[in-house]
Amino acid sequence: MAYLVALGIGLHNLGEGLAIGAAYSLGEAALGAFLIIGFML
């Protein structure tokens, strides 16, 4: 069971990282900052 939880957390973090990286690579710093703050809450 713990492995499934760890896998879910890992996939969730991967998706967040991809979204933030894509926002910054497009030069949209405001969107990237918004995503970071939103994911922290």
- pTM for the model stands at 0.56
Q: What per-residue string of b and e applies to 2-35 under the rule 16 or more CB within 10 Å gives b?
A: eeeeeeeeeeeeeeeeebbeebeeeeeeeebeeb
- Enumerate the domain spans of the chain: 2-40
Q: What pLDDT sits at residue 5?
A: 95
**Alpha-carbon span 6 to 27, nearest angstrom:** 32
Q: What pLDDT sits at residue 25?
A: 79
Q: What pLDDT sits at residue 17?
A: 84
Per-residue pLDDT tens over the stretch 1-41: 899 999 999 998 888 888 888 887 777 777 777 777 887 77
Q: What pLDDT sits at residue 6?
A: 94
